[in-house]
Amino acid sequence: MVTTQADWSLDFDIGMNFFEWHAPVPLAHEKGIFTRALKFLTNIQQGKPARRLNWTMTINPRLDTSPENYHKWGTDRTTVTPENVGDKVHLRVELQSFWRLPRSNALVFPIRCYLIKMDELVTQPKWARRFHRVLRDLPQQLVDYKGLTRYRPTVIEWLSKYDDGAPTSPGFGPD
Going by DSSP bridges, is the β-strand pair 50-59/107-108 parallel, antiparallel, or unpaired? unpaired
Q: Are 172 and 114 in contact (CB under 8 A)?
A: no
Its pTM surpasses 0.75: yes
- The CA-to-CA distance between both ends of the chain, in Å, stands at 32
pLDDT at 65: 85
Catalytic residue set: 52
pLDDT at 5: 62
More confident residue, 131 or 8: 131
pLDDT digits (tens, 9 = 90+) for 106-144: 999 888 889 999 999 999 999 999 999 999 999 999 999
More confident residue, 16 or 76: 76
pLDDT at 3: 57
Three-point CA angle 169, 86, 78, nearest 5°: 115
The pLDDT of 55-82, averaged and rounded, is 91
Q: How far is CA 72 from CA 56, 59, 60, in A?
A: 18, 12, 12
Least reliable range by pLDDT among 56-70, 73-87, 109-123: 56-70
pLDDT-derived band of residue 168, with 50, 70 and 90 as boundaries? low
**Domain ranges in the chain?**
10-160
